């Protein structure tokens, strides 16, 4: 079933981790309810969460995990792991996930980050989805150590993940 929706009416929202505000706590509870209902892992305490709502209902989310500064990587900027992107099945194939990631990228660029890198481990069949959004294949050697270990473990478990990254330099 494919719901035709008014994309202009969708609401995109950023949920800051541990901000303590009532609005943030309410939005995080709504997000975790959505994730549980769709059998997805709950949002981590340190995650930067981005949601899309159709009216009062969450229909999709993207979750970024900020990575600790790691001098063993080639880049010394802000690093993030795109921990997950999920859109409710009946809302898929309508450009919502792409719009949500574009919103996430804009929010990072507006957050006074001079440069940042987002690492992602999408399934192989999603390469054509991520590339137009600025993600490119990368060698595992370019990953921060903690992510490299996670990626290598997944490969040992025969998960069909790609190693991709998106770098932004703001002049």
115 versus 6: which is more confidently predicted? 115
Pick the closest to residue 49 from 31, 68, 23, 30 (CA basis). 31
Enter the tokens of residue 63: 């979750």
Q: What is the pLDDT of residues 109-118, one digit of tens each?
A: 887 666 789 9
Q: What is the pLDDT of residues 54-68, one digit of tens each?
A: 988 999 999 998 886
77 in a structural domain: yes
Predicted TM-score (pTM) of this structure: 0.85
* Average pLDDT over every residue of 105-124: 85
Cβ neighbours for 37, distance < 8 A, ≥ 6 positions apart:
none
Write out the residue range of the structural domain in which residue 109 sits: 7-169
Helices and strands in the chain, H and E counts: 4, 7
160 in a structural domain: yes
Phi/psi of residue 60, nearest 5 degrees:
-170, 160
What is the domain count for the chain?
1
Q: Let me know: does 2 contact 90? Beta carbons within 8 Å.
A: yes
């Amino acid at each position: 079933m494919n719901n035709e929706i008014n994309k202009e009416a969708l609401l995109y929202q950023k949920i800051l981790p541990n901000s303590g505000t009532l609005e943030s706590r309410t939005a995080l509870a709504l997000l975790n309810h959505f994730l549980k209902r769709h059998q997805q892992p709950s949002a981590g305490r340190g995650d930067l969460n981005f949601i899309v709502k159709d009216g009062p209902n969450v229909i999709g989310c993207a979750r970024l995990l900020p990575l600790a500064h790691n001098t063993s990587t080639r880049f010394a900027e802000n690093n993030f792991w795109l921990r997950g992107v999920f859109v409710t099945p009946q809302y898929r194939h309508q450009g919502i996930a792409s719009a949500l990631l574009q919103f996430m990228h804009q929010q990072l660029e507006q957050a006074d980050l001079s440069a940042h890198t987002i690492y992602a481990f999408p399934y192989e069949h999603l390469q054509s989805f991520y590339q137009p959004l600025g993600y490119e294949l990368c060698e595992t050697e370019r990953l921060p150590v903690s992510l490299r270990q996670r990626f290598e473990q997944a490969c040992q478990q025969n998960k069909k993940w790609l190693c991709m990254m998106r770098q932004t330099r703001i002049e």
